[in-house]
Structure 1
Amino acid sequence: MDPRAQAIVTLFEQLQPTDIERLGRHYDEAAYFRDPFNEVHRLSAIQAIFAHMFETLEAPRFKVLETLVEGDQCFMCWDFQFGLRGRAQAIHGSSHLRFGTDGRVVYHRDYWDAAEELYEKLPLVGALLRLIKRRMRVPQRFSET
């Protein structure tokens, strides 16, 4: 595996709160980060996002499932597992990364469906979203090939 990608996979799969201060080894000072809830430009803001993750979630951890690298682009599929109020949760998602000339990440964009992965699991909001989803779904007779 590409050594830049391997370093990121290792970082995420072994990430602990004490690693947040050392994210500069892997992320450029001016790195861009975006996920369904955040959009920031700066290493310090990225560190704040990860610190918040450890403060608000129970035992968060990533498991990288696949990694593809082409030039300075990297795409990773992952599972993120954590606890929230004593309940186990999981999010399946992916990340698009770009490496700078020094091998550090300059661009990090996470893709995952917040509605399906989080909101549908909430009691009231989830019931409404599941109802909307059922109504928007193409009937089985039209979706078969």
Structure 2
Amino acid sequence: MLLNIQIIQLPGNEDIPLPVKMSSGSSGFDLHAAVSESVHIQPGKWKMIPTGIAISMPHGLEAQVRPRSGLAFKHGISVLNSPGTIDADYRGEIGIILLNLGEETFTVERGHRIAQLVFMQVPNVQLQVVEQLDETSRGSGGFGHTGK
């Protein structure tokens, strides 16, 4: 099923590549930095990086912003609220909160591929208040309850 997502480049960002899948089997579209000058992210710090684009997608979808594996492996760069959620009714510029978990300052330049955008279907859910939940073998066992 092909879903149409509308995209605009915000004024002054015509030189920034549109999101693109880097291979036919890719799940995510690479997002590019639309910074006006170099941005330096110190170890342990984060910065909001603009992309210069905005999108419109049908209700029932969300766009998830995820880290790029190459940046994570080579530089310790991640997306702070990973995955970041872009709701179907948001029309503003997509911004990426990059987090430097590495040991060296990371520099973001205009046009660099900084994250990826993955589109996911969101089920139509209605919460139902009940007096009691059904029983399971796990019950209320939480974090680490199964051991190592």
- The TM-score, its normalising length taken from structure 2, stands at 0.27
Computing the radius of gyration from Cα coordinates, the structure with the larger value is 2
Which is helix-richer, 1 or 2? 1
- The TM-score, its normalising length taken from structure 1, stands at 0.28
